[in-house]
Structure 1
Amino acid sequence: MTAIRKIKSFACLASFSLLLTSGASFAKTGESNDHQLTHEQVRSAIQVNLEQNMYSLPPRIQGHYGLRMYRMTGDEKYSNAALIDLITITERQNFFACNVDKPNFINEQSQQAISVLGKGPRAKARKKALTPFPEFIFYSDILLRYASRTDELGFMGPCHQQMVKSVKSYDLAPALTDPAMIKAWAAQLVNYVYWAKQLNVGDYVAEYKKAFIETYPNEQDSELDKRQFRNKLYGMTHFIFAASGYYQQEVSQKEFQWILDYFDSNIERILTDATDDIIAEVGISFLLTGQRDHPVVKKTQDHITSSFNPEYQLIPSPRGNPDMVMGEHRNVLAMMLLDWPKTLHKGPYLANIKATQKYLPVQVTSKEKIKPNK
């Protein structure tokens, strides 16, 4: 970026900050503010806020943001956030994957993972659903999670083959296709399904799709309360997201027409009953299938823009909580929805980027035949 472009960029961001400060003063004084922020103004304001506070966020949140911004922009300045995440998950994979053969290790770690799920209604439902498959959480939410993230960045982590052998020895299908499991965490199960395929440890896509549709038949939508309706939507968006490698490439509209048609037919209920996270994901689902001009996209964009709070300079939780750690997911999705790029970018493949290649964790191995960054 040239000096002139940098100056223009900073000037632009400063003007948005000034605008938001003005908006915040209206909110605080109770005066009315008739100025409707544009999609671009909201996206830019969220970006300024998040990036000014990025170093105060946990490594995983920094990595989550950096990966998505890299895939949206291809800007290598976001690669260091991905590096922070890689360093963190390498340490995790070293512990979990390298100890799978240790007596009682998997059982102990499974129980530990279940114990920290939480105490709310959703956590209780997940704990109950896991009762017949207690070790599933270790293979899916631990081994597959860390190995898939390492793989996305162009590496194999420590004890990779040991991890592969361990996951292949465990049949994920019973838990993945169990209705109680699907009702407890539909989207997470989609992630596990596609991570297993990504790592060549099992192909459960068709089985899971069949079980998902049987668990949530469209003709029974009227029986779904708000929580289950949201879970169904969240699962549907993640079919598309996971197939795209999480925003690395567009996917087939035809393959996911059953999901897109559902969103189109139910958009009014979605805008009423879904959270802002899910509403943004619904809009992004159309963008990932190349449908920029679909009416659902604009409806979701308008809704997300109206959810922006100028006082906090971000989109707060449904209860109005502006916590940035809890809200980064929601707000980076909003940024993506409001400013979708013409081209998505794979990676970042950190071994091919000058800013990161000298600082890679020593316990990862670069994968062969990785395409260099453009």
Structure 2
Amino acid sequence: MRFIILALLLTTASCSHTATSTVLSAGEVKIAIQNTLEQRLYQLPPRVQGHYGIRLFRMTGDDKYVNSALVDLYAITEAQSFYACSADDPNFINAQAEAMTAQLGNGPRATARKAALTAHPQFLFYSDGLLRYASRIDEFGLIGPCHQKLTQAIKNYDMTPALTDPAMIKSWAAQLINYVYWSKQLGTGDYLEAYTNAFNQVYPNQLDGQLDKRQYRNKLYGLTHFVFAASGYYQRPIDADQFGWILNYFSDNMDRILTDATDDIIAEVGVAFLLAGKGDNPVVQRAREHIIKSFDQNAQFIPSISGRIEYASGEHRNVLAMMLLEWTEQLHPGPMLAIEPASKFHLPKQVRPKQE
């Protein structure tokens, strides 16, 4: 009898282990992550709600995600009003730049960024305080408060020294390429050639062997954001030939990428090929296989590199995984909030359509 009970227990344990380690399809993982996030969407901060809703709209064109973008619009309109309407006051600029620098934190990455910013003390005001909010309002087909004052202030501030500073590039390569494209988008300065040259001087491919894991990730994160920024953050495909230097690099180095990169970056590498119309490239399948293995079936979510399940900070990683696992045949710009029926009568009073 004891042997029968033992056999039953072993069988049950074996079945349980099999059930928890079932290999899921890409579509099953995508749907599971989507359910996890959408069940908690209104518990997330406005910025994270917006990040998720904007990307799902651009993937699907489904207007049910418009109000998530509208929530984001209210937050960024208020922020632009705060920064832009005083963008001609030197004392305000200096005070806010100092406050933004202080808010970076005290970790190793924040410490490196603070050190890099000592040579460019006002940079965060113009990049994060002005460019970030105005570019997103612009993506919604709108113009925000004090727009003329904002654009003139950015034009008067030369970003070249900060964007080409090796210490800055080593501290936040991806954010800098975002600023480059946002400035071009708003017509406040074209720094693309200068930044591209500086980035490649800091991170020449032949010196990859000298990069530790943190710096290698920074390089990869910068490379994916060249592609993402050029696409308007998933609003339009990119030219595979123009970005062949990046796609070829990913293809040639996928073994190290899968070993040393985070799940966020690995998903981004795969999405870069999808934006280029290269969904049949082996890099995409390898990235998908890695992401599926990273999926926690108990949490129905992809955890952080430390194994933590946190929905607000993990949304970025997981929405990228969704995009990688189930790409769209057509990208949808916007949402254009002055046109969308769900939002056009509910816009903040401080914005207006661009065509006016």
TM over 0.5: yes
2:236 pairs with 1:249: yes
Match of 2:224 in 1: 237
1:69–1:26: structure 2 CA closer, same or farther, 3 Å change rule? farther
Match of 1:298 in 2: 285
Match of 2:75 in 1: 88
Structure 2: distance between partners of 1:132 and 1:72: 40
2:58 pairs with 1:66: no
Indicate conservation of the 8 Å contact 2:338/2:353, yes or no.
yes
Shift of 1:34: 4.4
Match of 2:336 in 1: 349
Structure 2: distance between partners of 1:342 and 1:157: 32
Q: Which aligned pairs between 1:187-202 and structure 2 lie closer than 5 A? A: 187-202=174-189
2:116 pairs with 1:137: no
Q: Which aligned pairs between 1:201-220 and structure 2 lie closer than 5 A? A: 201-220=188-207
1:182 to 166, 169, 188: 169
1:41 to 21, 28, 46: 28
Deviations 1:263-284 (A, max 9, x none): 0000010001000000000000
2:141 to 154, 162, 172: 154
Runs of 4+ in 1 over 4 A off after TM superposition: 29-32
Which runs of no fewer than 5 residues in structure 1 stay unpaired?
Answer: 1-24, 370-374
2:255 pairs with 1:265: no
Match of 1:368 in 2: 355
Structure 2: distance between partners of 1:26 and 1:272: 32
Counterpart AA for 2:286: K
Indicate conservation of the 8 Å contact 2:94/2:122, yes or no.
yes
Q: Which aligned pairs between 1:328-339 and structure 2 lie closer than 5 A? A: 328-339=315-326
Structure 2: distance between partners of 1:26 and 1:162: 67
Indicate conservation of the 8 Å contact 1:97/1:159, yes or no.
yes
Shift of 1:101: 1.9
Indicate conservation of the 8 Å contact 2:20/2:297, yes or no.
no
Structure 2: distance between partners of 1:303 and 1:199: 37
Structure 2: distance between partners of 1:293 and 1:26: 39
2:84 pairs with 1:97: yes
Indicate conservation of the 8 Å contact 1:193/1:203, yes or no.
yes
Amino-acid identity (%): 58
CA-based RMSD of the aligned residues comes to: 1.4
Structure 1: distance between partners of 2:26 and 2:18: 23
Match of 1:22 in 2: none
Shift of 1:100: 1.3
Shift of 1:350: 0.6
Shift of 1:102: 2.6
Deviations 1:62-107 (A, max 9, x none): 0000000000000011000000000110000011000112340000
Deviations 1:298-323 (A, max 9, x none): 00011001100011110000000100
Q: Which aligned pairs between 1:42-57 and structure 2 lie closer than 5 A? A: 42-57=29-44
SS of corresponding position for 1:132: coil
Which runs of no fewer than 5 residues in structure 2 stay unpaired?
Answer: 1-11
SS of corresponding position for 1:88: helix
Indicate conservation of the 8 Å contact 1:86/1:150, yes or no.
yes
Shift of 1:141: 1.3
Structure 1: distance between partners of 2:149 and 2:196: 29
SS of corresponding position for 1:36: coil
Structure 2: distance between partners of 1:240 and 1:107: 33
Structure 1: distance between partners of 2:44 and 2:72: 12
Shift of 1:221: 0.3
Structure 2: distance between partners of 1:282 and 1:101: 40
Structure 1: distance between partners of 2:129 and 2:272: 26
Counterpart AA for 1:133: H
Structure 1: distance between partners of 2:73 and 2:241: 34
Deviations 1:184-217 (A, max 9, x none): 0000000000000000000000100000000000
Structure 2: distance between partners of 1:142 and 1:30: 51
Deviations 1:237-283 (A, max 9, x none): 00000000000000110111010111000001000100000000000
2:274 to 287, 298, 313: 287
Give the count of matched residue pairs: 344
